[in-house]
Structures are given as C-alpha cells and as structure tokens.
Amino acid sequence: MTWMITGGAGYIGAHVARAMAGAGERVVVLDDISAGVPARLPADIPLIRGSSLDGELLRRLFAEHGVTGVVHLAARKQVGESVEQPLRYYRENVGGLVTLLEAVADAGIKRFVFSSSAAVYGNPPDVDLVSEDTPCVPINPYGETKLAGEWLVRAAGRAHGIATVCLRYFNVAGSASPELADTGVYNVIPMVFDRLTRDEAPRIFGDDHPTPDGTCVRDYIHVADLADAHLAAARRVQAHPEGDLTVNIGRGDGVSVRELVTLIGEVSGDHRPALVEPRREGDAPRAVADAGLAAKELGFTARRGVREMVESAWEGWCLHHPEARRA
Ligand SMILES: NC(=O)c1ccc[n+]([C@@H]2O[C@H](COP(=O)([O-])OP(=O)(O)OC[C@H]3O[C@@H](n4cnc5c(N)ncnc54)[C@H](O)[C@@H]3O)[C@@H](O)[C@H]2O)c1
C-alpha cells in the first residue's frame, strides 16, 4: 500500500506520517504549508507542497505515487475563526473533501481514514462517558464541518466501495519530540503555558460546575497515541476492505482543568495560583470518551498518561519560547 497523508506536515499529521512510516507503511505527504512545518518530516518521507482542494493535482499525485489509501487530516481547525469565516470553513473542510473524495473514487482508491473531532458532539449531555451513539449536535461551524465530513466520507464509501474510518479525536496534547510540538495556542495546555510565559496567572473558567472540584472535566489524549490509532485504522481498512467505522479516540478518563493546571505547575515549576473567572456560556461540565469501541474494533487503547502529555508539551513549548523556562 501507499498512503497519502494530507496535512502531514501539521502537528498531528507529522506524528501520523512518522508512526506509519516507522511501522513499515509507504507514505507520501500532501500539505499546502498554510499551517504545516516541513521540518517536522524526516527526509525519507516525500512532501508535496500543494492543496487537497486541487482535484487535478490529486489525480496526478495518486497516479504518480500509486496511492492506494488516504489519511485525510488537512483542514482548518480553529473554532473561533470558523464562527467568523463559516463560508471558508465549509468551502475548505466540506467542499474540499468532496473534491478529494471524487478524486479518490475516480482513482479506484479503496481505503480512507478521516480526522473527525469530538466537536461533532457539541456540548454532550450529562453522561459519564460519551459513546459514538450520543447525539451529534455541533455548536459551531468547525464542528458542523467535521460532522458533514463524516457523512460525506460514509456516503462516498458506501457508494464507491471504499472502506472508511472516521476518528473522533478528543483533546489532543503533547508531542513525541519537542520539534513536533503544536505551535498554536488554541487549547488549554498551550493557553496556560502562554499565560505563565507572560508572567500571568492561568485562568480557570468556572469552578461551580457539577464536577468533583467544580471545574470542567475533559479527556486528553497524547498525540503519539493518536498516531498509533491512525495506524490501527489504516490496518483495519486494509484487513476489512468494506464497511465503515466511526469511533472515539480518547483515554476514557477525565481530568479536570484544576488538576491540569496543578500538573502544569509541577512540570513547569511555576506554581502560581489560578485566577477563577466566571463560567463560559455553553461549556459542558464533562466530556469524556467512551473508548470501548476503539478497543474492540481497532484494538487501540491509549498508553500514555496526562503527566507525559504535559511534560512533552512543556518541552516543545520551551523549544519555541526559551524565555518560558525560568526555574
Ligand atoms: N489538534 C486537535 O486538538 C484536534 C482535535 C480534533 C480534530 N483535529 C483535526 O485533526 C486534523 C489535524 O489537526 P492539527 O492539530 O494537526 O492541525 P494543523 O493545523 O497543525 O495541521 C493541519 C495541516 O493541514 C495543512 N492544510 C490545511 N489545509 C490544507 C489543504 N487544503 N491542503 C493541504 N494541506 C492543508 C496545514 O498546512 C497543516 O500542516 C484537522 O483535520 C483537525 O480538524 C485536531
């Protein structure tokens, strides 16, 4: 098999490309470098600079490289931006996916893995674990494009005999090495690092939620585990050349924001107390994956814990922000 990994120079994509190549799969990366970093990829993984929105380019690359499977990570992923620019998000994340699936179907490619997100659930109901049959009610255009993407992938798969897996990632964190770290400040761990680096106290939004310590509980997954989940998905569509699967990828274990901030204090050596601000409207108190289906269908269980995520994320942060390491 030869796998095309779209968005493979991105934070998650580079981990996926390395994990799959390391496991003996042939991979080729397509990335327009709008948010990617070419240096995340080793020299022996070919990187083609181009857009997954370009159907002609896709057809040529599929033929030139003998592509037999696609792992599609390329997307816009910022929730706030998606509220301001919904048309762009629909055009790139949904329209672009139509173009890609057309090219896949025309080329006779029969295996497809799609990056979805727990954002498809929106604010999940008050349940202990969010299973795949929890209703999907996204609350922003980003989540809507991921849900529409799942529909497209499943429908195209069924119509064209493509085996598909949609992976609903929960909160992704950490890095396999500092050079591969996430450079964006879009989720809680880098946001806390950013505050500490600016000599400001971390912020916690609400400590009056109905959770054990009053702060929101989330499910964090190490990006290296997530990469292993992609490998498992790739192996599944190879072994089962029919059918579709939509599956949560998380640890099935909740961590509160308060616990996370305490852990970040331990790892960074900066123990300043957090500022508690009012709850943000619409934040679900708890969103933790039921990880059972991934274990059953993919044989995948996350191995790395939250401390490992925070430690590796901190190493990556300090590489890009040397001023952060004061201790
Ligand atoms: N990071 C998270 O916590 C998270 C959670 C759930 C789902 N996801 C999904 O995982 C995927 C990867 O996310 P990430 O965190 O690695 O983001 P990222 O921005 O680091 O990576 C996306 C990569 O795609 C590339 N790209 C974007 N549009 C492209 C296009 N049209 N053609 C070619 N390349 C393009 C970018 O240059 C970048 O390298 C996305 O689909 C995202 O929605 C991420």
pLDDT of residue 241: 87
Distance (angstroms) between ligand 1 centre and the Cα of 74 equals 5
Distance (angstroms) between ligand 1 centre and the Cα of 270 equals 31
Q: Whose CA is nearest to atom 18 of ligand 1?
A: 10
**Ligand 1 binding pocket, CB closer than 6 Å:** 6-7, 9-13, 30-36, 51-53, 73-75, 77, 92, 96, 115, 117, 169, 172, 187
CA geometry: angle 78, 137, 214, nearest 5 deg: 75
The closest-lying atom of ligand 1 relative to the alpha carbon of residue 36 is: 39
The closest-lying atom of ligand 1 relative to the alpha carbon of residue 92 is: 31
The closest-lying atom of ligand 1 relative to the alpha carbon of residue 182 is: 20
Amino acid 169 reads: Y
96-107 and 55-65 are packed helices; what angle lies between their axes, rounded to 10 degrees?
40
Location of structure tokens 């806390």? 192
pLDDT of residue 326: 67
pLDDT of residue 259: 98
The closest-lying atom of ligand 1 relative to the alpha carbon of residue 183 is: 20
Q: Each residue's pLDDT tens digit in the chain (327 positions)?
A: 999 999 999 999 999 999 999 999 999 999 999 999 999 999 999 999 999 999 999 999 999 999 999 999 999 999 999 999 999 999 999 999 999 999 999 999 999 999 999 999 999 988 999 999 999 999 999 999 999 999 999 999 999 999 999 999 999 999 999 999 999 999 999 999 999 999 999 999 999 999 999 999 999 999 999 999 999 999 999 999 889 999 999 999 999 999 999 999 999 999 999 999 999 988 899 999 999 999 999 999 999 999 999 999 999 999 999 999 765
pLDDT of residue 45: 98
- Of 18, 29, 31, the one to substitute when testing ligand 1's pocket (max ligand atoms within 8 A of C-beta) is 31
pLDDT of residue 23: 97
Burial class (CB in 10 A: 0-12, 13-18, 19+), 210: exposed
Distance (angstroms) between ligand 1 centre and the Cα of 240 equals 27
Q: Can you say how many angstroms the Cα of residue 182 is from the centroid of all Cα atoms in its chain?
A: 11
The closest-lying atom of ligand 1 relative to the alpha carbon of residue 52 is: 32
**Residues 65 and 8 sit within 8 Å (Cβ to Cβ):** no
Q: Whose CA is nearest to atom 35 of ligand 1?
A: 74
Distance (angstroms) between ligand 1 centre and the Cα of 41 equals 15
Burial class (CB in 10 A: 0-12, 13-18, 19+), 222: buried
pLDDT of residue 55: 98
- pTM across the whole model: 0.97
3-class DSSP state of 187: coil
**Which are the catalytic amino acids?**
142
Q: Whose CA is nearest to atom 12 of ligand 1?
A: 73
Which residues are within 8 A (CB) of 67 and not within 5 positions of it... i.e. 6 or more apart?
A: 2, 3, 4, 28, 61, 107, 109
pLDDT of residue 219: 98
Q: Whose CA is nearest to atom 32 of ligand 1?
A: 51
Distance (angstroms) between ligand 1 centre and the Cα of 208 equals 33
Distance (angstroms) between ligand 1 centre and the Cα of 95 equals 16
